[in-house]
């Protein structure tokens, strides 16, 4: 195979322990581009619509895509997928590090786990040796601790992915951890691993990956290396990573503070990147094939607690577990980051859930009695530590919050759903969209719930006017096509977003690797196909018109920003409705948010149209037909 694929797919039946090898389906990868695309198709085809995400019929997929592990900038990603227990729809999440490349070097493009193991196990891969091994000694220990122990037991040269107690205990926002701080955090992929009693994956390999035109690839990548080394933004990225953007978010009224009550955090200077570098930084850290080393390996020093080591906090965690919890010390934020990493919780959802609980406590909806005698006050590390312990062990009301803020609000009632800051069950990332309407629309319509990586529009909102919503939908659609392509190819977005590597250059690399000879437009069309399939899958599982799933919590339109540079700003309900109308029109869906046959057939998803029609949720035909091209490439106006 001279196409970037390693050649073998493993199917692991955890119920029986049987492991089967198959030649990787090249046609499947060609059509769906690997990563998120192949995962979307396999979940759609193989998981019954009524399957419990915790049950044996859910499948758990590890997919390395085409470009990961190849001689390509930041070809480091590994994509995980299953039906999400958090959203009850297609779920996928990815991490950087070295796991994916090592899987390829061992000879594997994809691992598909089915069933449920009768006892805790981990998958051991050493080139051709593939075994399910007993994980009894690792069960119950933290993600970071487990990785360290497995490296001691197996060898430092194994790359390892683990879950923590949160995943073992069924906390719905559990993550997968690798490389002592890289997480596939979103959609509860760690929860599914835990439900299958799969504690870890450990892999070592030393084979080559064959590509279509190595000389052309080497020449192209050598030029990219030279160019990006001279890029003016490279050095700041290398030295500071993402944490330095907290202050910018605060200055521009998008930083969530106190459970998204406001977008202004008066103590931002205590948790900003300069504090991280001054007090916590140990060294810089890079993923496979990357010379940007944006990762920051750090320590958290908190009086009365052991010094702990972690990667981060990156921007998202500094926001969701810093300003959003009212924390006033970067070491406390880093300590919470470490706790969530070792417990195996997604720090974005974990921060969102904790902030929601803090506001419930502030309003008297939960009490000290509910919290085993503790309070849950803004800025209290002690309170957060105790609360997370209740959640991870599902003690008392901890069980409510282990289901995420949406489910917890259903238990608490009293109107708390208005400030449970989530969409489709998944908590918002570290940006408030009330005065960045495109960002709010991005959260509302993301196929996996409120996650920023599908579409991020804040500078677009600034350029186009933060008070208006017109025209934002087409840009969100375009971004929802181009950004997930990176999760499909299993490479990092930052070289594109931050260092000017163009989509055309990336597709050229893809062609050197695969020999496919495709264009950017064809890749975007594939991404649109994936997007529509995940939408159909969501509607088939959740059985209602699409529009009902696409609303943010009422705080998003009922409460204006109360303080700071954005004081008094915010969208109205009418603007939210208008954005949805324009979004569905831009996608060629009907006003209910249901995909139409015309657009599904255009994307060669006839089978999905048939399935939607059978259950009564196929979109009504649109007078005048659907747009020939969905989405609009964003060309910024003069700012």
Partner 1 sequence: MVIYLKAGSKLRERLKPDIDYYTRRIETEEGKTIKEILADIGINPALVAFVYTSGKVKGLHYIPSDGQSITLQPPVAGG
Binding mask 477-516 for partner 1 (x = CB under 8 A): ------x---------xx--xxxx----------------
Output 128 or 504, the one with its CB closest to partner 1.
Answer: 504
Q: Per rule CB under 8 A, is residue 458 in the interface with partner 1?
A: yes
Q: For tokens 């186009």, what's the residue?
A: 464
DSSP, collapsed to helix, strand or coil, labels residue 126 as: strand
Tokens, residue 581:
């109308």
Minimum gap (Å) between residue 232 Cβ and partner 1:
4
DSSP 8-state code for residue 273: H
443 binds partner 1 (CB under 8 A): no
**Least spacing, CB of residue 277 vs partner 1, in Å:** 9
Least distance to partner 1, CB of residue 621, Å: 35
How many Å apart are CA 486 and CA 136, to the nearest integer? 36
Among positions 145, 274, 362, 632, the unique one binding partner 1 when judged by CB under 8 A: 274
Give the residue, chosen from 459, 511, 542, 563, that forms a contact with partner 1 under the rule CB under 8 A: 459
Give the binding range for partner 1 (CB under 8 A) out of 14-22, 232-240, 336-344, 540-548: 232-240
Among 44, 80, 245, 258, binds partner 1 (CB under 8 A): 245
- What track of x and - describes contact with partner 1 for positions 171 through 210 (by CB under 8 A)? ----------------------------------------
Q: Which is nearer to partner 1, 114 or 320 (CB)?
A: 320
CB 274 within 8 Å of CB 301: no
d(CA 188, CA 203): 22
| Complex with partner 1: residue 255 or 308, whichever CB lies closer | 255
Rounded Cα distance, 179 and 160, in Å: 7
Q: How many residues bind partner 1 (CB under 8 A)?
A: 41
Report the alpha-carbon distance of residue 467 to residue 470 in Å, rounded: 10
Planar angle of CA 464, 487, 231, nearest 5 degrees: 65
Q: Which of 23, 236, 621, 625 binds partner 1 (CB under 8 A)?
A: 236
Site string for partner 1, 392-421 (x = CB under 8 A): ------------------------------
Which position among 265, 315, 338, 378 is part of the footprint of partner 1 (CB under 8 A)? 315
Give dist(CA 19, CA 124) in Å, integer.
12
Element (H, E) at 79: strand 78-83
> 521: which residues sit within 8 A by CB, 6+ positions away?
none
Nearest approach, Cβ of 411 to partner 1 (angstroms)? 32
CB of 427 to partner 1, least distance (A): 16
Structure tokens at 140: 């119950």
Q: Which is nearer to partner 1, 38 or 482 (CB)?
A: 482
* Residue with smaller CB distance to partner 1, 162 or 252: 252
Q: Across the beta sheet with 78-83, what order do the strands follow? A: 19-23, 8-13, 108-114, 60-63, 78-83, 90-95
Q: Does 239 bind partner 1 (CB under 8 A)?
A: yes
* DSSP letters for 564-596: GGGTT----HHHHHHHHHHHHHHHTB-TTSPBB
How large is the greatest C-alpha to C-alpha distance in the chain, in angstroms? 68
Q: For partner 1, which residue of 11, 207, 247, 569 counts as binding (CB under 8 A)?
A: 247
What is the DSSP-derived secondary structure letter of residue 539? H
Q: Closest distance between partner 1 and the C-beta of residue 580, in Å?
A: 21
In the complex, what is the shortest distance from the CB of residue 88 to partner 1, in angstroms, rounded to a whole number?
Answer: 25
Compute CA distances 435 → 252, 318, 352, 557, 564, whole Å: 9, 20, 19, 10, 12
Question: 492 in helix, strand or coil?
Answer: coil
Pick between residue 401 and residue 495 the one whose CB is nearest to partner 1. Answer: 495
Does position 244 bind partner 1 by CB under 8 A? yes
Q: Which residue number, 248 or 365, has a Cβ lying nearer to partner 1?
A: 248
Taking only Cα atoms into account, the Rg of the chain, rounded to an integer number of angstroms, comes to 23
Nearer to partner 1, 252 or 416 (CB): 252
Helix (H, G, I), strand (E, B) or coil at 249: helix
Selected range binding partner 1 among 255-263, 295-303, 452-460, 591-599, rule: CB under 8 A? 452-460
| Two structure tokens written together for 13 | 């039946």
Which SS3 state, helix, strand or coil, does residue 78 take? strand
Among 232, 373, 413, 624, binds partner 1 (CB under 8 A): 232
Interface with partner 1 includes 465 (CB under 8 A)? no
The answer to whether 250 contacts partner 1 (rule: CB under 8 A) is: no
Nearest alpha carbon to residue 26 among 5, 54, 53:
5
Position 463 contacts partner 1 (CB under 8 A): yes
Min dist. Cβ of residue 460 to partner 1 (A) = 10
For position 616 contacting partner 1 by CB under 8 A, the verdict is no
Alpha-carbon gap, residue 227 to 465, rounded angstroms? 34
CB of 503 to partner 1, least distance (A): 14
Which of 8, 58, 187, 249 binds partner 1 (CB under 8 A)? It is 249
Tell me how far, at minimum, the Cβ of 271 lies from partner 1, in Å. Answer: 15
Q: What is the full DSSP assignment across 433-481?
A: -TT-HHHHHHHHH-BTBS-TTS---HHHHHHH-TT--TTHHHHHHHHHH
Q: Give helix 330-343 / helix 381-392 axis angle, nearest 10°.
A: 10
Q: Count Cβ neighbours within 10 Å for each residue of 538-556 and write b for 16 or more, e otherwise.
A: bbbbbeebbbebbbbbebb
Told to check if 636 binds partner 1 by CB under 8 A, we report: yes
CA 92 → CA 123, 188, 377, 405, 410, distances in Å?
20, 9, 33, 20, 25
Residue nearer to partner 1 on the CB measure, 326 or 564: 564
| Cβ at position 172, least distance to partner 1 in Å | 22
Judged by CB, which is closer to partner 1: 3, or 243?
243
Q: Using CB under 8 A, list all residues that contact partner 1.
A: 230-233, 235-236, 239-240, 242, 244-245, 247-249, 251-252, 273-274, 314-316, 429, 431, 452-453, 455-456, 458-459, 462-463, 483, 493-494, 497-500, 636, 638-639
């Amino acid at each position: 195979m001279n196409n970037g694929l390693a050649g073998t797919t493993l199917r692991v039946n955890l119920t029986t322990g049987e492991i089967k090898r198959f030649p990787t389906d090249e046609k499947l990868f060609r059509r769906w581009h690997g990563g998120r695309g192949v995962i979307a198709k396999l979940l759609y085809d193989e998981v019954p619509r009524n399957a419990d995400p915790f049950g044996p019929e859910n499948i758990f997929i590890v997919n390395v895509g085409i470009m990961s592990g190849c001689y390509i900038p930041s070809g480091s990603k590994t994509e995980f997928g299953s039906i999400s227990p958090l959203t009850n729809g297609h779920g996928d999440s990815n991490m950087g590090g070295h796991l994916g490349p090592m899987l390829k070097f061992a000879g594997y493009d994809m691992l598909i786990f089915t069933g449920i193991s009768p006892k805790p196990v981990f998958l051991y891969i050493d080139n051709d040796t593939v075994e399910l091994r007993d994980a009894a000694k690792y069960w119950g220990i933290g993600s970071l601790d487990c990785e360290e122990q497995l490296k001691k037991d197996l060898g430092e040269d194994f790359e390892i992915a683990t879950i923590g107690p949160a995943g073992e205990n069924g906390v719905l926002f559990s993550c997968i951890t690798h490389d002592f701080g890289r997480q596939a955090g979103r959609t509860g992929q760690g929860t599914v691993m835990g439900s299958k009693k799969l504690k870890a994956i450990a892999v070592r390999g030393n084979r080559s990956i064959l590509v279509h035109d190595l000389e052309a690839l080497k020449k192209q990548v050598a030029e990219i290396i030279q160019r990006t080394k001279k890029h003016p933004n490279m050095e700041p990225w290398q030295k500071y990573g993402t944490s330095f953007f907290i202050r910018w978010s605060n200055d521009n009224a998008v930083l969530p503070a106190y459970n998204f009550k406001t977008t202004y955090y008066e103590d931002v200077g205590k948790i900003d990147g300069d504090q991280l570098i001054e007090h916590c930084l140990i060294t810089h850290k890079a993923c496979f094939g990357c010379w940007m080393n944006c990762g920051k390996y750090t320590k958290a020093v908190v009086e009365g607690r052991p010094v702990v080591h972690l990667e981060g906090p990156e921007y998202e965690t500094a926001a969701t577990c810093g300003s959003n919890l009212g924390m006033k010390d970067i070491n406390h934020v880093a300590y919470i980051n470490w706790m969530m990493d070792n417990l195996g919780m997604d720090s974005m959802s974990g921060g969102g859930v904790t902030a929601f609980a803090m506001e419930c406590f502030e309003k008297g909806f939960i009490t000290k009695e509910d919290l085993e005698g503790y309070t849950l006050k803004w800025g209290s590390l002690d309170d957060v530590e105790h609360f997370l312990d209740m959640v991870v062990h599902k003690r008392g009301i901890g069980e409510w919050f282990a289901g995420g803020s949406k489910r917890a609000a259903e238990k608490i009632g009293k109107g708390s759903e208005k400030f449970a800051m989530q969409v489709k069950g998944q908590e918002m990332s570290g940006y408030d969209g009330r005065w960045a309407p495109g960002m709010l629309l991005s959260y509302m319509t993301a196929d996996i719930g409120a996650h920023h990586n599908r579409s991020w529009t804040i500078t677009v909102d600034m350029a186009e006017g933060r008070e208006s919503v017109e025209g934002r939908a087409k840009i969100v659609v375009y971004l929802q096509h181009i950004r997930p392509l990176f999760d499909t190819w299993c490479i990092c977005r930052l070289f594109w977003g931050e260092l000017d590597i163009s989509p055309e250059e990336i597709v050229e690399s893809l062609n050197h690797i695969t020999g496919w000879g495709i264009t950017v437009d064809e890749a975007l069309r594939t991404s649109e196909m994936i997007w529509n399939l995940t939408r159909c899958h969501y509607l088939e599982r959740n059985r209602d018109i699409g529009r009902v799933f696409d609303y943010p919590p009422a705080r998003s339109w009922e409460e204006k920003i109360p303080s700071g540079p954005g004081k008094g700003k915010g969208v109205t309900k009418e603007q939210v409705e208008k954005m949805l109308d324009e979004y569905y029109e831009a996608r060629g869906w009907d006003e209910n948010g249901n995909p139409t046959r015309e657009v599904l057939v255009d994307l060669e998803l006839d089978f999905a149209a048939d399935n939607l029609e059978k259950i009564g949720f196929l979109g009504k035909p649109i007078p005048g037909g659907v747009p020939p091209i969905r989405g609009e490439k964003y060309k910024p106006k003069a700012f």
